[in-house]
Structure 1
Amino acid sequence: VPAIISRFVPDENVIFFPNSTPPERMVFEIDDEYLDFEEEHLAALEERIAENSHSAEIDELFDRANKLRFLQGNHYKYDKTVENMVEHVDFVKQRMTCELNEEATEILHKGLFYTHGRDRNFRPICILRAAVLTTGKINYEEAMNAYFFVAAYTIKNLLVPGKAENWDSIIDLNNLAVSRLPLKFTIQFVKLMQAHLKCRSRCFILLNVTMA
């Protein structure tokens, strides 16, 4: 992490997504209280968590910031948020580890997923080279494991609480044979990202899109 980040003070357009109504938070790790409506929703969520048989596991994994992340990501629907949290507890154990087997490591060496540089607000830039999925034999299950390894590593080592808590995603479509893109894998991959990386990807940028 560059030392200059310690002097970086995020402005309102970094803390909240610009012009969002209600305010859509992007920075959650703060010392102060959240906005009034966020605190009200958090209090209601805590009651639902306490009623759940997995409450101890949820409280062990989720601090207030991550509870609010999942709450916002589930549009402040309490039951859906708790269900998502229970699923996430198991998901973290299975996929979001900082360990890779040989096959997933080889996929990363091919350049399918990697992180390079930061934007002007010090958010890491995560790149997906989709064409790698269509070259040679790829174990799609291990490809997902490789991606979530990169995500877990980025969260643990590259994000800065209170300053840069999400990343920019670039999807490079150069040399992509769209007809060979695995549809089932792509749908499952997007669903898992939406379910388990709440409020982590600030935007998606497509590069080298071909004209139909």
Structure 2
Amino acid sequence: MPFELLQEDRRDLDDAVFEMLGVTDPKRRSELVDQLYRELTLHNRNIRIVEVQKMEQRRKTGTERVSQLELAFDAWEHLEPEWRKPLPLWLKENALMSKTVELPEGEVRLTAAENFLEANTLFFGKKPGRAHECASRAEAELLYQIANEGLRGPVSIPSGESQARKLLNELEYRLTEGRRKLTRLAEERAGTEKLREQVVETLYRWFIHGEPERAQAARSTAV
């Protein structure tokens, strides 16, 4: 859904318009606003698909070249603000009774849960690697997931085991759903499978680490 339609004042305005048109039931007005936004979102998406198809046609004839970064910029602008939050910020906002853990450099490894002696231990770097003891298996699995996405340095996680397990489930959902959203946005814009994969890769990198400043500057220059 376009960012404009997510604004509360825009919804209030449209609700007032339907009330002026004679719709007195608040529930019915809400349903009409939802229907309107679905239709607008679909309409905008169809327009965007046609625009991208035209850009791809011009690119193939040599009159215009659509870059991976341009498509990624456009897709990122159509992603809901909540899903544009980089992973460190999302963790900080969602970790209840949080504590800060420092993740060292190096490839992360987690032993099987059946290995009772090291079930709560993460290893970073080449074997034997640097050991990081966790307070629980849930915390170890959460930190492994975070580190496996490429985050290093200080990260915020819950201090309790049950909260760590809950946040792990929420994180797994966010990563899966986030990739699904990014893939859909890329498919609407890129004309070839290779280009789609490149756009998804760029978007997912921003999804985890945030859109880099140099990318923001490049977008501003392009505009």
Task: Give TM class, smaller chain.
Answer: under 0.3
More helix by percentage: 2
Query: How high is the TM-score relative to the length of structure 1?
Result: 0.28
Q: Structure 2-normalised TM-score?
A: 0.27
